[in-house]
Amino acid sequence: MKPSKYFSDSYESYYFTNYLPILSEKYNLSLPNHNEYINNIHQTKPKFMELFQKKYYSGCSRSSKYTANKNDINFYENAKKISKESIINFIKNTSLNIAKLSEYLKNTQKNKIYMLYKDGEFNIEYSNLNNHIIKSYIKNPKISSYIATTENGIKIKILLRWKNGNGIAFPSLQIS
């Protein structure tokens, strides 16, 4: 949640300034207030994005709200395209704050114990915090990701994505 705290710049502000106006103008949808957008876009259904979100899901054939309306389908396709372009360009021009992200990872993983059961045996594994301290990273904009290497040489994929509609609501990081 709130991925921009781990970057050298704000993705939410970048998207709002450079990409959301494209959808707003092309489909005659009101652009929300910048401050409200920045402060509340991290929700699954922000009220100020309701019309964007309705149009997005109306154009998505996998959605229960799908209408088969050509304008909605066009909106959906454009939102996906614009979202992908925004993430690619943002990653190309932005640094990852590895100290801050490492701190987050360490805090969420400390004191974790994993118990696994396989072939009639229980196995226990304790979280090794060096697996979560990022030493370096490379940018891979084509897959919307930064690929980090930890102190123990483990690779971590840090994917920048939208959880609720491409460019519509809930930007986040998916870490694997």
How far is the CA of 93 from the CAs of 5, 14, 160, in angstroms? 16, 11, 14
Residue 56: both structure tokens together: 């997005």
pLDDT tens digits for 54-90?
A: 999 999 999 999 999 999 999 999 999 999 999 999 9
Residue 21, Cα to own-chain centre: how many angstroms? Answer: 19
At 18-35, the pLDDT tens digits run 999 999 999 999 999 999
Buried-exposed string 106-128: b where 16+ CB fall within 10 A, e elsewhere = eeeeeeeeeeeeeeeeeeeeeee
Give the pLDDT band of residue 140 (cuts 50, 70, 90): very high
- Distant-in-sequence, close-in-space partners of 16: CB < 8 Å, separation ≥ 6: 34, 37, 38, 41
